[in-house]
């Protein structure tokens, strides 16, 4: 196992890095109703660097009352304020400016993200550019044509307009903190909604930095509120509130189910982007080196903490030994280390609790009889003692009903399955409760298309893994979610559809006798 040793001097001093966030008495504040706020009960939470276990900052820990205050502010901003009637062009201008701010401050933001989330700088740098582009994409979309007209069998003109849904609660996870904030805020604001965003309590900092520009650019008060706090408190309050018109969530399937249940009170609209156990299918005729490369990228990017990770590698039997050996040899060489170290290729897991959860799955895999081909342990030395580092791990000789094959591990753990032919590949690929993503590697173009069309999944690739774009819809089949984010689909998910019928012959109908 190659590792990167971290010197204390590698990490920037957190206080210096976070100097542009708003704080009071050493506590970073939330943004509610256009003001910076401590928690109503003064509560705080320690933020921990996943690479070394050190507390590097304190942030306000919002309460139910804080969430309710933010909801009321958003409600006022939409139903009594001007945002709902604002010009698309004005909203677009603000979103373009936000994108510029992210670009201008990309170095600062990516460092905050690496400090808070742990992932290597090369990943957070990519995420920041992606987040800026997301705001830019929706800024552009805000002013594009959106309605429809219909020819109807009467002297009437019927047309359709899209209008904002209203108050949107948005609950996001820790694996792509600023990018997930962008995926939620950009389409919602472009369409004229108001937002209460709840970042993960583990990784709130880049969203709070974003709020400094929301203030500076003079978004009207209450249009964007960022409330930090525990999911079952702040997140649940948002999901259950009768004043919230829509809740959008990205995270685990279990939490998604709880949010869906909480949302039934006022039948609010819901969008859920949940977990996956996505198959990466490699046929014997694939370009060998490309398929090996993407098998690694599919699972070990962001240490496997990706909803669409290629966590099941399905390999055709005839090449399985050679292919898996190549994957294992390269997995052993991945440089695991502190995200600030430029040579680190894979960072830590988000928290000690999550690391233990992943270790639990590794133990379960061994206990169920799968073969541990590499990894499976916490990193040796200081990195592993202080940080949440797990070695890149590959299991072979699995069975379809094993826990490690069926459940989302959300860590650097790849499970290998083998198949005899195309039919079996498709059967195995679809054999989980999830349907988020999937890929096929083959040089047979017809086979690639046949297999992709059989996958019960919303995001798919041929001869690649992971690249997706703001322009295209993102979301899953089966228990991987409800609805789509990104692209025009993501925009439409933040709109209501209204039909308008205009009588072109203004005279009494004569239906009732006069």
Catalytic residues: 273, 307
Residue that is written with structure tokens 């993102």 in the block:
474
List of residues 6+ apart from 430 with CB closer than 8 A:
454, 455, 456
Q: Which residue's CB is nearer to ligand NDP, number 42 or number 232?
A: 232
130 near ligand NDP, rule: CB under 6 A:
no
258 near ligand NDP, rule: CB under 6 A:
yes
- CA of 322: how far to CAs of 289, 328, 332, in Å? 11, 10, 16
Q: Which element (helix H / strand E) includes 181?
A: helix 177-190
Q: Which element (helix H / strand E) includes 197?
A: strand 194-198
360 near ligand NDP, rule: CB under 6 A:
no
C-beta of 449: minimal distance to ligand NDP in Å? 27
Looking only at Cα atoms, what is the longest distance across the chain?
A: 92
Q: Which of 140, 147, 232, 400 contacts ligand NDP by CB under 6 A?
A: 232
Give the interface size with ligand NDP as a residue count (CB under 6 A): 24
Among candidates 232, 239, 184, which has minimal Cα distance to 207? Answer: 184
128 near ligand NDP, rule: CB under 6 A:
no
Q: Which of 43, 53, 220, 252 contacts ligand NDP by CB under 6 A?
A: 252
C-beta of 500: minimal distance to ligand NDP in Å? 36
DSSP for 82-132, please give it: SGGG--HHHHHHHHHHHHHHHHHTHHHHHHHHHHHH---HHHHHHHHHHHH
With beta carbons less than 8 A apart as the criterion, state whether 228 and 29 touch: no
Taking each continuous run of H as one helix and of E as one strand, the counts in the chain are 17, 24
Angle, vertex CA 320, rays to CA 319 and CA 321, nearest 5: 100
Q: Which element (helix H / strand E) includes 48?
A: strand 44-48
Residue that is written with structure tokens 């791990």 in the block:
393
Q: Which stretch binds ligand NDP (CB under 6 A): 74-82, 229-237, 328-336, 459-467?
A: 229-237
236 near ligand NDP, rule: CB under 6 A:
yes
239 near ligand NDP, rule: CB under 6 A:
yes
171 near ligand NDP, rule: CB under 6 A:
yes
226 near ligand NDP, rule: CB under 6 A:
no
Q: Which residue's CB is nearer to ligand NDP, number 74 or number 274?
A: 274
The interface with ligand NDP within residues 269-288 (CB under 6 A) comprises: 274-275
Q: Which element (helix H / strand E) includes 428?
A: helix 422-429
Q: Which residue's CB is nearer to ligand NDP, number 40 or number 157?
A: 40
The interface with ligand NDP within residues 178-207 (CB under 6 A) comprises: 198, 200-201
Tokens representing residue 389 in the block: 């580092």
**Binding flags for ligand NDP, 404-443, as an x/- string (CB under 6 A):** ----x-x---------------------------------
Residues that bind ligand NDP (CB under 6 A): 171-173, 175, 198, 200-201, 230-232, 235-236, 239, 250-252, 255, 258-259, 274-275, 307, 408, 410
């Amino acid at each position: 196992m190659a590792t990167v040793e971290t010197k204390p001097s590698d990490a920037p001093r957190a206080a210096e890095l976070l100097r542009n966030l708003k704080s009071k008495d050493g506590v970073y504040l939330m943004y509610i109703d256009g003001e910076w706020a401590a928690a109503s009960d003064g509560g705080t939470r320690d933020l921990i660097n996943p690479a070394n276990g050190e507390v590097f900052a304190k942030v306000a820990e919002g309460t139910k009352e804080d969430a309710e205050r933010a909801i009321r502010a958003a409600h006022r901003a939409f139903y009594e304020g001007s945002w709902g009637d604002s010009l698309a062009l004005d909203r677009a201008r603000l979103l373009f400016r936000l994108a510029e701010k992210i670009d201008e401050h990309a170095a600062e933001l990516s460092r905050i993200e690496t400090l808070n989330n742990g992932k290597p700088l090369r990943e957070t740098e990519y995420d920041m550019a992606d987040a800026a582009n997301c705001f830019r994409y929706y800024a552009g979309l805000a002013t594009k044509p959106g309605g429809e007209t219909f020819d109807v069998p009467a002297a009437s003109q019927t047309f359709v307009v899209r209008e904002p849904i209203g108050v949107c609660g948005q609950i996001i996870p820790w694996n792509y903190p600023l990018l997930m904030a962008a995926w939620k805020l950009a389409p919602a604001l472009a369409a004229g909604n108001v937002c209460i965003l709840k970042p993960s309590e583990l990784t709130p900092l880049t969203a709070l930095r974003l709020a400094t520009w929301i203030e500076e650019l003079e978004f009207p008060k209450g249009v964007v509120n960022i409330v930090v706090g525990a999911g079952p408190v702040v997140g649940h309050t948002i999901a259950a509130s009768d004043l919230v018109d829509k809740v959008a969530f990205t995270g685990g399937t279990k939490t998604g189910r709880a949010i869906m249940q909480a949302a039934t009170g006022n039948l609010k609209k819901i969008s859920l982007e949940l977990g996956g156990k996505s198959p990466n299918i490699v046929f014997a005729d694939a370009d060998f080196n490309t398929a090996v490369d993407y098998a690694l990228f599919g699972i070990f990017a962001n240490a496997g903490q990706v909803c669409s990770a290629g966590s099941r590698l399905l390999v055709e039997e005839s090449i399985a030994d050679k292919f898996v050996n190549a994957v294992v040899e390269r997995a052993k060489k991945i440089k695991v280390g502190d995200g600030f170290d430029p040579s680190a290729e894979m960072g830590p897991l988000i928290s000690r609790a999550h690391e233990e959860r992943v270790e639990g799955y590794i133990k379960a895999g061994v206990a169920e009889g799968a073969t541990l081909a590499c990894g499976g342990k916490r990193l040796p030395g200081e990195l592993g003692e202080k940080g949440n580092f797990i070695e890149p791990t590959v299991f072979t000789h699995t069975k379809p009903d094993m826990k490690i094959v069926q459940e989302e591990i959300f860590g650097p753990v790849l499970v290998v399955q083998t198949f005899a032919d195309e039919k079996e590949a498709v059967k195995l690929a679809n054999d989980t409760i999830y349907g988020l993503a999937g890929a096929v590697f083959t040089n047979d173009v017809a086979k690639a298309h046949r297999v992709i069309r059989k996958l019960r999944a919303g995001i798919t690739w041929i001869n690649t893994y992971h690249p997706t774009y703001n322009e295209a819809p993102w979301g899953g089949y089966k228990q991987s979610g409800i609805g789509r984010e990104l692209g025009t689909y993501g925009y439409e998910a933040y709109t209501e559809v209204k039909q308008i019928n205009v009588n072109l012959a203004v005279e009494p109908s004569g239906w009732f006798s006069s």
